[in-house]
Amino acid sequence: MGNLKTFLWSDFVVCYLQTIGYLTNHIMNITDIDDKIISRIPEQTHESLIEFTSFYTRKFLEDIEKLGIRNYTMKNIHKVTDNVDSIEDMIVGLKDRGFAYETPDGSVYFDSSKISNNPFYVNNQTDGYEGTRNIIRGPGVKSDKDFVLWKIMPNREIAWGYTGNLKKGCVGWDSECCALSNKLLGKVHIKMGGSDLKSKHHCNEISQAEALYPDRIYGDYWIHFGFLNFSGEKMSKSIGNVLKLDDIPHNYKLVRMYLLTKSYKNDVDYSEDDIMMLKKDFINLHMLYSKLANKFYRTNKNSQANYLGDVKMYDKILGIISCNFSTGDAIKELVKYVDKFMKVYLTDEKAQEIKGELDLVNGLFNIIDWNLLEIDDQTRNFINLREELRVQKQFAQTDLMREELKQIFIFEDENTGFSLIKKLN
């Protein structure tokens, strides 16, 4: 279904496009029909397939929620098993128009000789398009470049064929995405996915969609993401370098911020050292927000000592991102902004303006972990008492209270105010 980096970046792109008013509707399809999936089911029945894939779909949604991926819920993700009839109709339509043909066993292939004006098509490509799906070519396939739309798997109990126009079989991977996009979106403005999909899967989607609708461009814009690698290699069960989200020993929003410092176009080699270097900036962001939201900042009696300059940042961040989604540069700008206001005297007006800018930026990045900012009533009363003692200049007592706070929180105390957040895992 994709990797962590792909889903996080897809979420960010959707959020950005919604922010500027470009995008109103978006979907994700769930591939719950696949040869590897079916081979792992002890009981070869439709019911066991649905039970098996539903479990992992729920787990997937739980994991992306942990990472702050906001744009996908059960309302806008669509299972292939719920849409097989629409996929069949599309394949029959391609056959009727002469773009697909049936082999002797009943499988249906797209005729690659009919591909034209496809920006991702590589003419000299001879390895089978669907090779990554372990499809064994049978008799009657005209060209190695022809890709499967509907495949017949002999002696398989799990099969589809609701329309009666196709022999009992299974959906091809390339067909599901195309059919669901056409059914649920109609016109596709933006298509996103991993970089490995460009020359095969996305090429095949375009070929099918524009064969059916020759007067309509399928996908005005295409965004292809790099991979998230571990120790220089793509995560793979065969290699044994699988790292589950629960195995990552860091705050999930910190991991999100780390990935947003990278370019969407390039592969990223997961680095513990890089995450640890970013951790201080992540903490400072939360410390500043805590100071502003809880009014832990201080205002100098000398009005000229308070910060009176410009505090705008959101528009600049939006401008940076508008240049090819340069979130790495935008994060750098955010870090400079946070550092600038960590230790200055602020009026209530300026403090709330800064908080407003941070709220707007977080609306794009979603990197603030609200759990770190929670303060219970007992702690708040303790803080209030310490402030009263500080005004009374009972510094010995306030120093002891500061050390007590540090046992539970990350706590910083300056002349310009103080801030605290829960300790990170």
Residue 213 shares a structural domain with residue 329: no
Q: Which residues of 316-355 are buried (b: 16+ CB within 10 A; e: fewer)?
A: ebbebbeeebbbeebbebbbebbeebbebbbeeebbebbb
Write down the pLDDT at residue 337.
Answer: 98
- For residue 153, name the pLDDT band (cuts at 50, 70, 90): confident
Last residue of a domain, one of 198, 226, 254: 226
pLDDT of residue 254: 96
The pLDDT, as a whole number, for residue 2 is 57
User: pLDDT tens for residues 207-240?
Assistant: 999 999 998 889 889 999 998 888 777 777 667 7
Rounded Cα gap, residues 202 and 146, in angstroms: 14
Strands 100-102, 108-110: pairing is antiparallel
Strands 233-234, 228-230: pairing kind? antiparallel
User: 220 with 285, same domain?
Assistant: no
Rounded to an integer, the average pLDDT of 141-150 is 89
**Per-residue pLDDT tens over the stretch 80-131:** 999 999 999 999 999 999 999 999 999 999 998 988 778 777 664 545 444 4
Do 361 and 320 meet the contact criterion of CB atoms below 8 Å apart? no
Beta-strand runs (E) in 136-211: 148-151, 170-171, 190-194
Q: What is residue 128's predicted lDDT score, i.e. its pLDDT? A: 45
Share of the chain above pLDDT 70, in %: 95
Contact 348, 292 (CB under 8 A): no
Determine the pLDDT at residue 95: 95
Strand partners, 414: 417
pLDDT (mean) for 65-94: 90
Q: Does residue 295 share a domain with residue 201? A: no
Residue 84: inside a domain, yes or no? yes
Cα dihedral 405, 411, 412, 418 sign = negative
Task: Supply the pLDDT for residue 3.
Answer: 74
Are 213 and 71 part of one and the same domain? yes
Rounded to an integer, the average pLDDT of 343-359 is 98
Task: Look at residue 122 in the predicted model and tell me its pLDDT.
Answer: 67
pLDDT score for 210 = 92
pLDDT of residue 123: 61
The pLDDT-based confidence of 1 (bands split at 50, 70, 90) is very low
Q: In angstroms, rounded to a whole number, what is the distance separating the alpha carbons of residues 176 and 182?
A: 10
Long-range pairs for 32-40 at CB < 8 Å and ≥24 separation? Answer: 32/57, 32/79, 32/80, 32/81, 33/80, 33/81, 33/84, 33/170, 33/171, 33/176, 34/133, 34/173, 35/133, 35/134, 35/153, 35/170, 36/134, 38/156, 38/158, 38/170
Tell me, yes or no, whether 221 and 335 share the same domain.
no
86-100, 123-137, 197-211, 340-354: least confident range: 123-137
Last residue in a domain, options 165, 199, 226:
226
Return the higher-pLDDT residue of 137 and 34: 34
Q: What is the CATH number of the domain that holds 72?
A: 3.40.50.620
Q: Are residues 57 and 125 in the same domain?
A: yes
Task: Examine the pLDDT at 133 and tell me if it is beyond 60.
Answer: no
Q: In this predicted model, which residue has the larger pLDDT, 321 or 21?
A: 321
Tell me the Cα Rg of the chain: 27
97 and 203 in a single domain? The answer is: yes
Return mean pLDDT, the chain.
89
**388 pLDDT more than 80:** yes
Q: Does position 360 have pLDDT exceeding 60, yes or no?
A: yes
User: Can you tell me the mean pLDDT for 288-312?
Assistant: 96
Give me the amino acid identity at 339. Answer: D
Count of domains for the chain: 2
| Confidence (pLDDT) at 162 | 65
261 located within any domain: no
* Residue 348 belongs to some domain of the structure: yes
CA angle 142, 219, 91 (to 5 degrees): 40
Residue 261 pLDDT > 90 = yes
Among residues 66, 65, 155, 53, which one has the least CA distance to residue 105? 155
pLDDT band at 136 (very low <50, low <70, confident <90, very high): low
User: Higher confidence at residue 102 or residue 36?
Assistant: 102
Work out the average pLDDT over 265-287: 94
Residue 245 lies in a domain: no
Domain limits at 331?
A: 271-422
pLDDT-wise least confident of 176-185, 308-317, 359-368: 176-185
Same domain, 222 and 275: no
8 Å CB contact between 163 and 85:
yes
Distance CA 345, CA 351 (A): 9
Domain final residue, candidates 226, 261, 294: 226
